[in-house]
Amino acid sequence: MGTAELMLAGGFVGGTVVTAALLWFHERRTRRGLEDVSGRLRRAEARTHTLLRESHDVLAVVAADATITYLSPGAERVLGASATAYVGAPLPSLVHPDDRGRIAAALAAPVTGDEERRAEFRIRHRDGHWLLLEATVDDRRDDPSFEGLVVSCRDVSERRHAEAELCEAHERFRSAFEHAPIGMALVGLDGRFVRVNRALAQMLGRAEDQLAGASVLTLTHPEDHAAAHDGIGRVLGGDPSTRVEQRLVHVDGRPVWVAVTMSLVRDHMGGPRYLVAQVEDVTERRASGDRLAHQAIHDPLTGLPNRVRFVEQLHDALRHQSGGGRPAVLFVDLDHFQVVNDSLGHAAGDRLLVAVADRLRAATRPTDTLARFTGDEFTILCEGVPDEATAVELANRVSNAVAKPVTLVEGEVYVTASVGIALATGELETPEALLRNADVAMHHAKELGRARADVYDAHAHDRAIQHLRTGNELHRALERHELLMHYQPILSLETGRVSGFEALIRWQHPERGLVGPDEFVSRAEETGLVVPIGVFALEASCQQAVRWHQRGAPVTISVNLSPRQLAEPTLVDSVAAVLGHTGIDPRLVWLEITESTLMHDAESAVRTLSALRALGVHLSVDDFGTGYSSMTYLKRFPVESLKVDRSFIDGLGRDAEDSAICTAVVSLAHALGLRAVAEGVETPEQLAELRTLGCELAQGYLFGRPAPPDTWGARPDHQLAFGRR
Ligand code: C2E
Ligand code: CA
Ligand code: CA
Q: Please state the three-class secondary structure of 299-336 as a single string.
A: CCCCCCECHHHHHHHHHHHHHCCCCCCEEEEEEEEECC
Mean pLDDT comparison of 178-192, 404-418, 465-479, highest-scoring range: 178-192
> Cβ of 97: how many Cβ atoms within 10 Å?
9
Q: Whose CA is nearest to atom 2 of ligand 1?
A: 560
**Cβ of 504 below 6 Å from ligand 1:** yes
Q: Is 682 touching ligand 1 by the criterion CB < 6 Å?
A: yes
Report how far ligand 3's centroid is from the alpha carbon of 593 (Å): 9
Angle (CA) 497 502 505, round 5°? 145
Phi, psi of 569 (to 5 degrees): -60, -25
* Integer Cα distance of 234 and 48 in angstroms: 59
Closest by Cα among 621, 545, 620 to 590: 620
Give the pLDDT band of residue 604 (cuts 50, 70, 90): very high
For residue 536, the CA-to-ligand 2 centroid distance in Å is: 16
Strand partners, 132: 122
Under the banding of pLDDT at 50, 70 and 90, the label for residue 417 is very high
Residue ranges per domain, the chain? 53-155, 171-287, 301-456, 471-719
**Ligand 1 proximity of 700 Cβ (cutoff 6 Å):** yes
**Helix, strand counts (H, E) of the chain:** 27, 26
Output DSSP code: residue 110: P
| Per-residue pLDDT, 110 | 64
Q: Residues 711, 488: contact at Cβ < 8 Å?
A: no
Where residue 80 falls among pLDDT bands split at 50, 70, 90?
A: confident
pLDDT (tens digit, 9 = 90+) per residue, 669-686?
A: 999 999 999 999 999 999
Radius of gyration for the chain, computed over Cα atoms and rounded to the nearest angstrom:
58
Highest mean pLDDT among 20-34, 143-157, 544-558: 544-558
Bridge partners, 155 (sequence order)? 133
Do 568 and 538 touch, CB atoms closer than 8 A? no
Ligand 1 near 489 CB (within 6 A): no
Cα–Cα nearest to 260, from 179, 185, 180: 185
Topology (CATH level 3) of domain 471-719? TIM Barrel (3.20.20)
**Phi, psi of 619, rounded to the nearest 5 degrees:** -125, 145
Please, which pLDDT band fits residue 7 given cuts at 50, 70 and 90?
Answer: very low
Cα–Cα distances in angstroms (integers) from residue 673 to residues 348, 583, 642, 676, in the given order: 39, 29, 10, 10
Would you say residue 133 has pLDDT above 50? yes
What does DSSP assign to residue 219?
Answer: G
Higher per-residue pLDDT: 541 or 282: 541
What is the longest distance spanned by two Cα atoms in the chain?
204
Q: How far is the CA of 636 from the centre of ligand 3 (A)?
A: 21
3-state secondary structure of 263: strand
Which residue's CA is the nearest one to ligand 1's atom 27? 517
Amino acid in the structure at residue 213 = G
506 pLDDT above the threshold of 90: yes
pLDDT for residue 5 is more than 50: no
Closest approach atom of ligand 1 to CA 559: 41
Ligand 1 atom, smallest distance to 623 CA = 3
- Cβ atoms of residues 487 and 712 within 8 Å: yes
Average pLDDT, the chain: 87
Would you state the pLDDT for residue 57? 85
10 pLDDT above the threshold of 50: no
In 3D space, the residue among 92, 59, 96, 51 whose CA is nearest the CA of residue 75 turns out to be 59
Residue 498 has pLDDT above 60, yes or no: yes
Q: Taking the domain 171-287, which CATH number applies?
A: 3.30.450.20
Two domains, one topology: 53-155 and 171-287: yes
What element of type H or E holds 37? helix 16-54
Mutate to test the pocket of ligand 1, among 478, 530, 543, 560 (most ligand atoms within 8 A of CB): 560
Residues 6+ away with beta carbon under 8 Å from 199: 180, 181, 182, 183, 184, 279
pLDDT score of 320 more than 90: no
Q: What is the distance between the terminal CA atoms of the chain, rounded to a whole angstrom?
A: 178
pLDDT at 695 over 90: yes
The pLDDT, as a whole number, for residue 93 is 86
pLDDT at 21: 56
534 lines ligand 1 (CB under 6 A): yes
Closest C-alpha to 536, from 595, 474, 588, 490: 474
Residues 6+ apart with CB under 8 A from 532: 478
Question: 605 pLDDT band (50/70/90 cuts)?
Answer: very high
**Which secondary structure element, helix H or strand E, spans residue 597, and what is its range?**
helix 595-600
Is the beta carbon of 488 within 6 A of some atom in ligand 1?
A: yes
From the CA of 489, how far away is ligand 1's center (Å)? 12
Checking if the pLDDT of 1 tops 60, the result is no
Nearest ligand atom owner, CA of 624: 3
Q: Is 566 in the pocket of ligand 1 (CB under 6 A)?
A: no
Whether 620 lines ligand 1, by a CB cut-off of 6 Å, is no
- What is the mean pLDDT of the segment spanning 248-254? 92
Question: Residue of the nearest CA to atom 20 in ligand 1?
Answer: 680
In this structure, is the dihedral angle defined by the CA atoms of residues 187, 193, 198 and 199, taken in order, positive or negative? positive
> Closest ligand 1 atom, CA of 537?
41
Residue 26 clears pLDDT 80, i.e. is over it: no
Residues paired with residue 24 on neighbouring β-strands, in sequence order: none
Least-confidence region, from 250-254, 401-405, 555-559, 591-595 = 401-405
Q: pLDDT band at residue 283, thresholds of 50, 70 and 90?
A: confident
Sorting pLDDT into bands at 50, 70 and 90, what band is 722? Answer: low
Please choose from 482, 487, 504, 598 the residue to mutate so as to test ligand 1's pocket, defined by most ligand atoms within 8 A of CB.
504
- Give the dihedral sign, CA 220/223/229/231: negative
**533 within 8 A of 524, measured Cβ to Cβ:** yes
Rounded distance from Cα 588 to ligand 2 centre (Å): 16
Q: Return residues with CB closer than 5 A to ligand 3 (ion).
A: 622-623
Q: What was the pLDDT predicted at 723? A: 45
**The one-letter amino acid at 716:** P
pLDDT at position 8: 39
**In angstroms, rounded to a whole number, what is the distance separating the alpha carbons of residues 496 and 588?**
19
Length of the chain in terms of residues written: 725
Asked whether the predicted pLDDT for residue 428 surpasses 90, the reply is no
Torsion angle of the four alpha carbons 461, 462, 466, 469, in this order, in degrees rounded to the nearest 10:
80
Strand segments, DSSP code E, in 368-497 are 369-374, 377-385, 406-408, 411-413, 417-423, 453-455, 483-492
State which of 204-213, 319-328, 496-505 shows the largest mean pLDDT: 496-505
Question: Is 517 close to ligand 1, i.e. is its CB under 6 Å away?
Answer: yes
For the ranges 13-22, 307-316, 346-355, the lowest mean pLDDT is seen at 13-22
CATH 3.40.47.10 fits 53-155, yes or no: no
User: Where are the strands (E) in 107-178, listed by range?
Assistant: 117-124, 130-140, 148-155
- Listed residue (100, 95, 107) closest to 63, CA to CA: 107
Q: pLDDT-derived band of residue 725, with 50, 70 and 90 as boundaries?
A: very low
**Over 60: is that where the pLDDT of 569 sits?**
yes
595 lines ligand 1 (CB under 6 A): no
The answer, yes or no, to whether any atom of ligand 1 lies below 6 A from the CB of 220, is no
Ligand approaching nearest to the C-alpha of 643:
3
Q: How far apart are CA 237 and CA 234, in angstroms?
A: 5
Q: Percent of the chain beyond pLDDT 70? A: 93
pLDDT attached to residue 235: 86
Which amino acid does the sequence have at 18? Answer: V
CATH of 301-456, one of 3.90.10.10, 3.40.50.2300, 3.30.70.270, 3.30.70.980: 3.30.70.270
Q: Is residue 555 very low, low, confident or very high in pLDDT (cuts 50, 70, 90)?
A: very high
Residue 3, pLDDT above cutoff 50: no
Percent of the chain at pLDDT exceeding 90: 43
